[in-house]
Amino acid sequence: MNHQNLPENSPGTGPVLAIESSCDETACAILSAEGVCLAQRVVSQDGHADFGGVVPEIAARAHLALLPGLVQATLKDADMAPQDIGFVAASTGPGLIGGLIVGASFAKGLALSLGKPFVAVNHVEAHALTARLPGLVPEGAAFPYLLLLVSGGHCQCIAVEGVGRYRKLGGTIDDAAGEAFDKVAKMLGLGWPGGPELEKLAQCGNPNAIPLPRPLMGRAGCDFSFSGLKTALSQKLAPYGLDPLPHQFAADLAASFQQAVADVVADRVSNALKMMPEAGLLVAAGGVAANSVLRARLEEVAADAGLRFAAPPLRLCTDNAVMVGWAALETCQEAADLGLPRPDDSTVRPRPRWPLEEMATRFAPQESIA
């Protein structure tokens, strides 16, 4: 079933108002029934920088304060009244439970007040389907394809076989890639979020200047490990104690670390493609997919395998509500294609963990995803 161009007024489709609140981005978007973004807004919370990472309680309180005005502004941007919305969707897991409760509760309340259905969206599935947004990838992103999800909380290779049909081929056994970037950036005395700051510093450095390990590289499978790399880098810093790092040394260290991560990820993804010979496309998603060095290495991997490579534009790599709305539209269309009613997930509770493998159950009428 191909949902690449959703028909206008097809069963169970938009316009959809979508909310994302799984971490520290508060976002709202409105998509047409065809998947065209009519308006979107994202607020990157700034109350976490002093702590060097996301503080769940601060994030939840910020979502609560920001969402009413953000939704109102997004509706105004789209020149729509609340009654014009076909249904409401929100990230309902996985993620920080406080933020998920705030976003999903707000979305459910809005849907109830308008007499509209609510669709619960798996945050990881939203990333997985982003490449299928109309017009995003030349020639489209038909199933099946291999997804590399690299973000602050996730690092996985996923076989995307269809809406609701996913197989995890491998994942991190310790830190996520984005988490490693942020922790190393903190060691180097950089600001937060650390990933973009580290990439900026690395532009002044030599990626071959400082030898660092490549954990699991060359081994079978496509699992990831970054804790040993992080530890090795910290040992390079030990001789300096609390003294400021020489700028060039810091830049070389940042560049060497970034290159090590890119090499490891490229090796792991190469193995994943061998595990999924039916893949017609390699897709990267998540905040770390915005890293230019990593993108370049993944393009090489795809080319070596004779595949196209696709990654969302930078604005859609990080958490956003456009991907949430699109995942909801794809879910509704899949249900319609199977002769099922449009999902109404008003009783589905937010979950800090929500494995992708469970998504197929929503298309089995006798089962519930609650």
Mean pLDDT of 256-268: 97
pLDDT beyond 60 at 18: yes
Mean pLDDT of 134-143: 93
358 is in an annotated binding site: no
Predicted local distance difference test score (pLDDT) of residue 192? 78
Cα–Cα distance list, 141 to 31, 58, 159, 169, 242 (Å): 19, 37, 13, 19, 49
50 is in an annotated binding site: no
Instruction: Tell me, letter by letter, the H, E, C secondary structure of 163-174.
Output: CCEEEEEEEECC
Predicted local distance difference test score (pLDDT) of residue 6? 46
199 is in an annotated binding site: yes
Q: What pLDDT digit, counting tens, does each position of 63-118 carry?
A: 999 999 999 999 999 999 999 999 999 999 999 999 999 999 999 999 999 999 99
Mean pLDDT of 11-15: 62
3 is in an annotated binding site: no
Does residue 12 or residue 154 have the better pLDDT? Answer: 154
What residue has token string 């996520």? Answer: 176
Which residues on neighbouring strands pair with residue 118, listed in sequence order? 88
Show the domains of the chain with their CATH numbers. 16-130+317-363 (3.30.420.40), 143-311 (3.30.420.40)
Which residues on neighbouring strands pair with residue 90, listed in sequence order? 19, 120
127 is in an annotated binding site: yes
150 is in an annotated binding site: yes
149 is in an annotated binding site: yes
Q: Cα–Cα distance between 233 and 229 in angstroms, integer?
A: 6
206 is in an annotated binding site: no
Q: What pLDDT digit, counting tens, does each position of 149-168 carry?
A: 998 888 999 999 999 999 99
Average pLDDT, the chain: 92
164 is in an annotated binding site: no
Predicted local distance difference test score (pLDDT) of residue 49? 66
